[in-house]
Amino acid sequence: MLNEQTVNKLHEMRLSGMVDAFRQQQKDNAYSEMTFEERFGLIVDNEWLHRKNNHLRRLLRNAGLHSPEAAVEDINYLPDRHLDKEQITRLSTCQYIAQAHNIILLGATGAGKTYISCAFGNAACRMFYKVKYIRLPDLFIELAVARGEGNYKKVMKTYQGVNLLILDEWLLTPLTQSETRDVLEIVESRHKRGSTIFSSQFAPGGWHEKIGNDTLADAILDRIVHDSSLNPSDQHQLSGMVWKVKKRFRLRHFTVLADKGYYNGEDLEKVKRLGVDAIVSKQKNSDPKNQPAAFHTEQFIYDPTGDFYTCPAGKQLVSRHKKDAPRRLFFDKSACGHCPHLRDCASGERGYRTVSRSQYATVYEEVDERTRQRMELYKLRQRIVKHPFGTVKFAMQGYYFLLRTRRKVRTEVALLFLGYDLKRAVKALGFDAIMARLEAEKQRMKAAFSCFLPFLREFHRMKTQMAA
């Protein structure tokens, strides 16, 4: 009777985990050999584990993940997916959430962006971070309804307060003025306070056009790109391919040419350590569209001796970060405050111009200089390689695949390149010449088969006789 009263009191205090452990100890005589402190410790441990599991279930339920079962451990690292396993494993530790950094997932339809983003969300929930998943079009609908019902701020706080916000189908279509302001409100409130995963088919270079308003676009991109881990499919792939070429052909030194998709400092540093000269097209800086060219980032000259940048107005921009920092900001608030070119030079709400320098800036500068000196070689690569892929991508019109799943996409790609090969052959040789060659090949095959036909008949006759 006393035990039942204890159990009822535990239920009233919502300590169901302790109830389960208490009843388990009543049924198992093995616990009678343990001291009171040991038995009580096991009861408390069971209640703690029970609460943690309930907390995790609530986090996963509230996250609303598109694929709740997605897990980083189940991601398939096939070679044609070009996924960096080391980077994904590092991101799965959720250290980027503690540092309030963002992730940008890029890829065509069916590439698995949603699954990977949900896997990151699942990993964050298991680290007991608050997560929220939503498609960007659905977010705009929800905010529009909330605005009409008068609870816009309440709904907005839901997305501002989570530790990790996953925005799927990011900038799939151009934004309206109202949608742009909604995006700015969310991005601004989460800047340096929370992490966001942006899943998109388009690289950040095309976001400016999708947003539309130049001023708001600058403000949004400034808060997203500079604190993001980017995963375009080509990045981090060059060094691996260079290493395979060196190993396969036993080359000690050679020159590799690649387009701007491979322009990644960490990867180029690895290529340099392999003793290979890289010629890679430079990615354009995300300078505002309405900014005069005289104040673009490349006009700021770095002095390695004095460790400062000289701006177009002749002022020196210095950094307060250590030289071994991953990314350093150079600025001079005082000089910018009295500069007559501030309006043309600075963007955003800082009120002064900053220049960012990566820890791989020296490698970037070496590759840029080598590419400038050997531009004719790079242009030759474009004529040989770039034209076929450009033509195929143009044939795709929307630059995305119509089918889903890897097997079907491979079939679609095969048909695209078959169509390209046929069109090139017709243009190079002419339709009549191709048909004439096909007819000649047909006659040759018929002649060869005619010579072989008597042997087949004799073989069939002998086989029939043996069977009889």
What are the tens digits of pLDDT across the range 337-364? 889 888 888 866 667 898 888 888 899 9
Cα-flanking dihedrals φ and ψ of residue 337, to 5°? Answer: -65, -25
* pLDDT greater than 50 at residue 232: no
Q: Count how many domains the chain has.
A: 5
462 domain-assigned: no
If asked whether residues 206 and 155 sit together in one domain, one would say yes
Question: What secondary structure does DSSP assign to 410-448, as a single string?
Answer: HHHHHHHHHHHHHHHHHHHH-HHHHHHHHHHHHHHHHHH
pLDDT reported for residue 226: 62
**pLDDT number for residue 229:** 57
Q: What is the pLDDT of residue 234?
A: 56
User: What are the distances in angstroms from CA 25 to CA 12, 20, 43, 203?
Assistant: 20, 9, 9, 59
CA distances from residue 353 to 17, 284, 331, 343, 442 in whole angstroms, order as listed? 57, 18, 6, 10, 71
Same domain, yes or no, for 77 and 221? Answer: yes
Decide if pLDDT at 416 tops 80.
yes
Whether residue 115 is contained in a domain is answered as yes
Question: What pLDDT digit, counting tens, does each position of 8-49 carry?
Answer: 777 777 787 777 877 787 777 777 778 877 778 888 888 888
| Residue 308 DSSP SS3 | strand
Q: For residues 308 and 221, state if they share a domain.
A: no
pTM exceeds 0.85: no
347 lies in the same domain as 379:
no
Helices assigned H by DSSP within 64-112: 85-91, 95-98
Give pLDDT, residue 312.
92
In whole numbers, what is the pLDDT of the chain averaged over residues? 84
Quote the Cα angle for 362-89-272, to 5°: 25
H-state helical runs in 131-282: 136-149, 152-160, 177-190, 207-211, 214-224, 238-249, 265-273
Is residue 305 predicted with pLDDT exceeding 50? Answer: yes
- Say if residue 112 is in the same domain as residue 213: yes
Residue 444 in domain: no
Tokens of 274: 């392999």
Packing angle between helix 16-27 and helix 36-63, nearest 10 degrees? 140
For residue 467, being part of any structural domain is answered with no
**Do 421 and 336 belong together in one domain?**
no
Q: Report which of 191, 198, 143, 196 is spatially closest to residue 172, judged by C-alpha positions.
A: 198
Report the C-alpha gap between 288 and 277 in whole angstroms: 32
Pairing of strands 308-310, 327-331: unpaired
Q: Which pLDDT score is estimated for 1?
A: 44
- State whether 245 and 331 are in the same domain: no
Q: Which of 203-207, 224-228, 297-301 has the highest mean pLDDT?
A: 297-301
- In a 3-state reduction of DSSP, which class is residue 38? helix
Reading the block at residue 235, the tokens are 């990045």
DSSP character for 135? E
Range of the domain at 176: 72-230
pLDDT interval class at 285 (50, 70, 90): low
Q: Which of 366, 392, 417 is the last residue of a domain?
A: 366
CA distances 314 to 110, 152, 295, 301, 365, Å, are 50, 47, 12, 10, 21
Q: Flag whether 446 is in a domain.
A: no
- Answer yes or no: do 114 and 188 share one domain: yes
79 and 175 share one domain: yes
Whether the Cβ atoms of residue 168 and residue 112 lie closer than 8 Å to each other:
no
Domain end: 254, 283, 312, which one?
283
Is there a single domain that holds both residue 277 and residue 421? no
Among the ranges given (9-23, 152-166, 224-238, 423-437), the one the predictor scored with the smallest mean pLDDT: 224-238
Q: What is the pLDDT of residue 118?
A: 95
Please give the Cα distance from 397 to 468 (Å, whole number): 64
Is 184 found in the same domain as 119?
yes
In a domain, 242, yes or no: yes
Banded pLDDT at 287 (limits 50, 70, 90): low
